[in-house]
């Protein structure tokens, strides 16, 4: 049932590969297919990323609750930027609305301000576009995107990952901002709407401390494509997830509707919003830092020699294109 309503990630990956091939042709220094673009600047490396909130905006409009999606917009960007070892600095937003709506804009700004404060960035500008012929919906329809800029403190690409490294999962706050094309179809918004609008957890502070105080070999933000995204870190080795987080009730409700374990772990974060890959000797240090920041954490698996991403029963999660 679930696959019928979800995005075809394999097809999306093929499109992304074609885009990367066109953009990065002839640029052998480009870091292709990772979480942020990197720009050399005055002896430093700057990281840049842009992302939106996806169809979660439709749920916000249905429930007429607009004050948290700004947090999501920032979280989706800063969480990606830290995956290459960069400290987020600033950003700009892009908000498209159907009409001049002071209430809607003020509510969205509340979330943006809160997200910026939590992630330690400044919002230095933005654009609000009134597009009556494009933005349509039930109540106060809109679309929201954000672009963030950061400075690389310790360049992390995943190339340092070694066989035997441990995968430490940092707990998610819920669905975050992915899988809503499917979730909106199979979950009752009256029952689950509030949980579905729980904002994406921002991992900037704990992860930056982990980077500074331990040997982090790789970082994966579990978003679109979920755990299949671990292949972004290292394509020469594999990732074995045999101790996943215990799913919150909302994931169990989705599972009942979808009925396919592999599809669930390819679509949703299943309780793990970020994966930190470190040597076994760093395990206790990472768990201690997570505890200090009041972020739940556990070892969810390890790095193996066989390429790909696998669940404990051997189910393969990554897409072989």
- Long-range residue pairs from 252-256, CB within 8 A, at least 24 positions apart, any chain: 253/187, 253/192, 254/2, 254/179, 254/182, 254/183, 254/186, 254/187
Digit-coded pLDDT (tens) for 79-91: 999 999 999 999 9
Digit-coded pLDDT (tens) for 84-128: 999 999 999 999 999 999 999 999 999 999 999 999 999 999 999
In this structure, the strands spanning 122-130 and 44-52 are: unpaired
Contact 79, 172 (CB under 8 A): no
Provide mean pLDDT across the span 257-274. 95
Per-residue pLDDT for 136 more than 50?
A: yes
- β-bridge partners, 126: 93
Return the structure tokens found at 86: 């960069």
Q: Percentage of the chain surpassing pLDDT 70? A: 89
Most distant pair of Cα atoms in the chain: their distance: 57
Return the structure tokens found at 100: 């001049």
What is the predicted pLDDT for the residue at 268? 96
Return the structure tokens found at 98: 């159907």
Domain at 34-152, CATH homologous superfamily: PurM-like, N-terminal domain (3.30.1330.10)
* Packing angle, helices 249-258 and 189-196, rounded to 10: 130
Residues 6+ apart with CB under 8 A from 130: 97, 98, 99, 100
What is the predicted pLDDT for the residue at 57? 97
Bigger pLDDT: 242 or 28? Answer: 242
Residues 6+ apart with CB under 8 A from 85: 152, 153, 154, 155, 156, 211, 216, 219
Provide mean pLDDT across the span 251-257. 95
- What is the model's pTM? 0.90
Domain boundaries, the chain: 34-152, 166-311
Q: Indicate the burial class of 55 (C-beta count within 10 angstroms; 0-12, 13-18, 19 or more).
A: middle
Residue 44, H or E segment: strand 44-52
Average pLDDT, rounded, for the chain: 92
What is the predicted pLDDT for the residue at 187? 96
Q: How many CA atoms lie within 13 A of 50 on its CB side?
A: 8
Rounded to whole angstroms, the Cα distance separating 25 from 21 reads: 6
HEC states along 83-105?
HHCEEEEEEEEEEEECCCCHHHH
Provide mean pLDDT across the span 48-73. 97
What is the predicted pLDDT for the residue at 206? 98
Return the structure tokens found at 51: 């992302």
Contact 149, 46 (CB under 8 A): yes
Provide mean pLDDT across the span 178-198. 95
Q: Percentage of the chain surpassing pLDDT 90? A: 86
What is the predicted pLDDT for the residue at 1? 45
Per-residue pLDDT for 5 more than 60?
A: no
Rounded to whole angstroms, the Cα distance separating 229 from 270 reads: 14
**What is the spatial order of strands in the sheet that 238-241 belongs to?**
218-221, 272-278, 166-171, 297-304, 238-241, 308-311
Bigger pLDDT: 6 or 178? Answer: 178
CB atoms within 10 A of CB 102: 7
- β-bridge partners, 128: 95
Domain at 166-311, CATH homologous superfamily: PurM-like C-terminal domain (3.90.650.10)
Provide mean pLDDT across the span 148-160. 96
Q: What is the DSSP string of 166-189?
A: EEEEEEPSSSTTSSHHHHHHHS-H
User: Residue 34: which pLDDT band, with cuts at 50, 70 and 90?
Assistant: confident
Provide mean pLDDT across the span 176-190. 95
Residues 6+ apart with CB under 8 A from 284: none
What is the predicted pLDDT for the residue at 2? 45
């Amino acid at each position: 049932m679930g696959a019928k309503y979800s995005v075809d990630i394999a097809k999306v990956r093929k499109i992304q590969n074609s885009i990367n091939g066109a953009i990065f042709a002839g640029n052998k220094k480009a870091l292709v297919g990772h979480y942020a673009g990197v720009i050399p600047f005055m002896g430093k490396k700057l990281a840049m990323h842009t992302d939106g909130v996806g169809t979660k905006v439709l749920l916000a409009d249905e429930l007429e609750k607009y004050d948290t999606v700004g947090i999501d917009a920032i979280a989706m960007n800063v969480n990606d930027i830290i995956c290459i070892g960069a400290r987020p600095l600033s950003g700009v937003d892009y908000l498209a609305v159907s009409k001049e709506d002071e209430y809607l804009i003020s509510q969205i700004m509340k979330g943006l301000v809160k997200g910026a404060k939590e992630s330690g960035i400044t919002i230095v500008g933005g654009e609000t576009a009134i597009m009556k012929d494009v933005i349509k919906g039930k109540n106060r329809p809109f679309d929201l995107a954000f672009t963030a800029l950061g400075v690389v403190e310790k360049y992390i690409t995943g190339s340092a990952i070694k066989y035997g490294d441990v995968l430490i999962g940092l707990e998610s706050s819920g669905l975050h901002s992915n899988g809503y094309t499917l979730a909106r179809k199979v979950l009752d918004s009256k029952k689950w709407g509030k949980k579905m609008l729980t904002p994406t957890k921002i991992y900037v502070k704990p992860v930056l401390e982990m980077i500074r105080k331990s040997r982090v070999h790789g970082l994966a933000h579990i978003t679109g494509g979920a755990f299949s995204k671990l292949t972004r870190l290292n394509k020469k080795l594999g990732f074995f997830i045999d101790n996943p987080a215990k799913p919150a009730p909302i994931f169990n409700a989705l599972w009942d509707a979808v009925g396919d374990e592999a599809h669930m772990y390819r679509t949703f974060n299943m309780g793990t919003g970020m994966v930190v890959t470190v040597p076994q000797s760093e395990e206790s240090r990472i768990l201690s830092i997570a505890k200090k920041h009041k972020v739940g954490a556990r070892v969810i698996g390890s790095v193996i020699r066989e390429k790909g991403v696998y669940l404990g029963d051997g189910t393969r999660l990554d897409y072989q294109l």
